[in-house]
Structure 1
Amino acid sequence: MSLLSSFFSNFFSMQSKSVRDNQLRQDSRENAFSLQYSNKKEQFVLKVSMFAALFLAIFGISFGMSIQSMAVIFDGFVALLSVGLGFLSVLSSRYIYKEDDDVFQYGYVRFEPMVNLFKSLVLVFVCIYAFINALHSIINGGYEVEFEAGAVYSFFAFLFSSVLFAYTLVFARRLRSDLIKVDNTEWKIDSVLYFAALLAFTLSYIANFFEYDMSFITPYIDPVLLALLSLFLCVSPLRIACENLKDLMMIAPPELDERITKIMQNLSTEFGFSDYDTHLAKSGRFYMLEVNILTQKNFKPKSVQEFDHIRERIEKALEIPSYNIWLRVSFTADPKWL
């Protein structure tokens, strides 16, 4: 009877293990497919943004040369700068999930915060440059804006930038991509600045219909709007720069640090661990977590699978996709290895 019971117990145990292994393999395949789809979609969106910036640059330079406007030509060259920055994003997205090699033995995860930091600092520089130019114009008495040609260019550039802003915003949220988020911030800055120029043209045009002479105000409309908006727009890229600088400095995210502390406290109570130590860092969309567990001397695991079971519980409790985390869990009975 005991032999029969043992047989059925082993049989159902093997069946359960087989089902569990199949489920893990299926989840792994689904995660790999989801990751591949998201990464390809991210690269596609970044390429659309890059080529859109190229189109805007060509349009701005050619239109500026046709109306002989240095301001519009300069704007086209600024858009050309965005093309180079966009290429960096596409290149970074292509290498993010590339496996480690002999040179980059921890993978290419650092590329994302480096690119995002560089791009956001360039956007901050553009905002500061626009503010300084606007301030210089105000001090020197402002300037008159040519309504017809300038308004046409600003109108079409504003519509184009707004469409790209909305497009990148959708996929930045859907794919949770910081690379697309930076591009989205760039298109937001462009949209607002073009809208400000269009508003300045409109206000200058309306001022001509007032009963009183408003000619002394119109030269200041555009530079004042530009100064105010450039300061306002500087906030977003500055925030992105700070976030990515934290990633490069390997500063632990507070929320995740609190979460892993609670997880380890619960596991220590359940398994009777003497102590534990954690090391956490974030790099772009990737997390690197090291957990060292100090076991009691009388702790006797049934098998190596029990260690793996604890690792699985930590990974699931973190609620981070396995392809976005580098998790290392070690066990020791000697406090010096913590």
Structure 2
Amino acid sequence: MSEQSLLRLSIAVTALLAAFGITVGLVSGSFAIVFDGFYSLTDAFMTILALLVSRLIVTSAEPTAKGKLIDRFSVGFWHLEPMVLGLNGTLLMGAAVYAFISAVGSLLSGGRPIDFGPAVIFTIVTVTVSFAMWLFCRRANRALNSSFVALDSQAWAMTAALTSALLVAFAVGHAIEGTEFEWLSPYIDPGALALICLIIAPVPFSNVRQAVADILLVTPVELKQHVDAVAEAIVERHGFLSYRAYVARVGRGRQIELFFIAPSDWPPRHLSEWDAIRDEIGEAIGGEGPDRWLTIVFTGDPEWAD
């Protein structure tokens, strides 16, 4: 299954679960379930956006890609990927913070009574579907190695875990009805929601941090070390004076620019010889494909490289 097909499936399942959750939440009076549905809708919307960006990236990388949009973005659409991932994580963290504040307010005002029967049914269905989707997306992404699918898989795992916590809370609430502990029932829904929000709020932070690093073109340490090692070997092997390397990661794209400083008294060479050296460098760096942007320049003037 392709990245886009997997994202489409995830969107459809998420939208169905979200609609189911909001309906059950309104019927049962559970704000925790309503929040779960709203959270899922937000995730579905961002997955649709991720799907559009993924399609743009794949389409623009095709050799036969043409059109006005391609002409306007001639260096590709990689920069949109970290923007979407960053926006996704920020929205999810913001929703969790807002829901936590609401839950605390409800606890301070005496809680919120709910109908635990429909709530338990909802959580059982959601846990089952979420766990199945997490396993499916995780297995499929072993071959795809997609940041979007990885984030989506993480979202399904988080949904399964948090809904499991809701299931336990609602089961306890249902069990204490008609007992001496029934006075605790109104506090179960906002208490569970507050606890869930505390857990999920920091989860997207790592994705937001990586997205910001990509947007700011922060140089990946491991990639820079690898490119430096390749460039140093080329300098020693072919007798260049020095080199300059500029490396950045933008979403799934790797942007690498290499400048090799040659002695000014070198005799002229045929273009095929320079291309052979370029091929040697490209093979040593590895990762050839639509997501690698590699520029190799040979010059006798260091100012062209600085």
Query: C-alpha distance in 1, partners of 2:256/2:87?
Result: 26
Distance of aligned partners of 1:222 and 1:251 in 2 relative to their CA distance in 1, 3 Å threshold? same
Structure 1 residue 138, shift from structure 2 partner = 3.2
Query: C-alpha distance in 2, partners of 1:241/1:144?
Result: 36
Quick one: which of 37, 43, 54 aligns to 1:93? 54
Quick one: which of 305, 326, 330 aligns to 2:272? 305
The 8 Å contact of residues 28 and 115 in structure 2, kept in 1 or not, is answered as no
2:290 corresponding residue in structure 1:
323
Query: C-alpha distance in 1, partners of 2:237/2:270?
Result: 17
Distance of aligned partners of 1:321 and 1:141 in 2 relative to their CA distance in 1, 3 Å threshold? farther
1:168 corresponding residue in structure 2:
137
Quick one: which of 212, 230, 242 aligns to 1:263? 230
Pair 1:295 & 2:262 matched: yes
Quick one: which of 86, 96, 110 aligns to 1:117? 86
The 8 Å contact of residues 29 and 114 in structure 2, kept in 1 or not, is answered as no
Structure 1 residue 172, shift from structure 2 partner = 2.9
Between the two structures, name the one with larger relative contact order (CA 8 Å, sep ≥ 6). Answer: 2
Structure 1 residue 74, shift from structure 2 partner = 5.4
Which amino acid is 1:279 matched to? Y
1:245 corresponding residue in structure 2:
212
Query: C-alpha distance in 2, partners of 1:138/1:299?
Result: 79
List alignment gaps of at least 5 residues for structure 1. 1-39
Which amino acid is 1:43 matched to? Q
Quick one: which of 176, 186, 190 aligns to 2:159? 190
Matches within 5 A, 1:79-90: 79-90=40-51
Distance of aligned partners of 1:61 and 1:144 in 2 relative to their CA distance in 1, 3 Å threshold? closer
Pair 1:199 & 2:168 matched: yes
Which amino acid is 1:229 matched to? I
2:6 corresponding residue in structure 1:
45
List alignment gaps of at least 5 residues for structure 2. none
Which amino acid is 2:19 matched to? I
The 8 Å contact of residues 119 and 182 in structure 1, kept in 2 or not, is answered as no
| Displacement over 6 Å in runs of 4+ | none
Number of residue-to-residue matches in the alignment: 296
Larger radius of gyration: 1
The 8 Å contact of residues 196 and 226 in structure 1, kept in 2 or not, is answered as no
Query: C-alpha distance in 1, partners of 2:28/2:185?
Result: 22
Q: What SS does the aligned partner of 1:251 have? A: coil
Pair 1:69 & 2:29 matched: yes
State the TM-score, normalizing by the size of structure 1: 0.79
Query: C-alpha distance in 2, partners of 1:198/1:83?
Result: 23
Structural RMSD (CA): 2.5
State the TM-score, normalizing by the size of structure 2: 0.86
Query: C-alpha distance in 2, partners of 1:169/1:314?
Result: 34
Q: What SS does the aligned partner of 2:72 have? A: coil
Structure 1 residue 306, shift from structure 2 partner = 2.3
Q: What SS does the aligned partner of 2:2 have? A: helix
Fraction of identical pairs, as percent: 28
State which drifts further: 322-331 or 44-53. 322-331
Structure 1 residue 47, shift from structure 2 partner = 0.2
Matches within 5 A, 1:144-183: 144-183=113-152
The 8 Å contact of residues 50 and 83 in structure 1, kept in 2 or not, is answered as yes
Query: C-alpha distance in 1, partners of 2:141/2:101?
Result: 31
Pair 1:280 & 2:280 matched: no
2:96 corresponding residue in structure 1:
127
Query: C-alpha distance in 1, partners of 2:59/2:134?
Result: 29
Which amino acid is 1:136 matched to? G
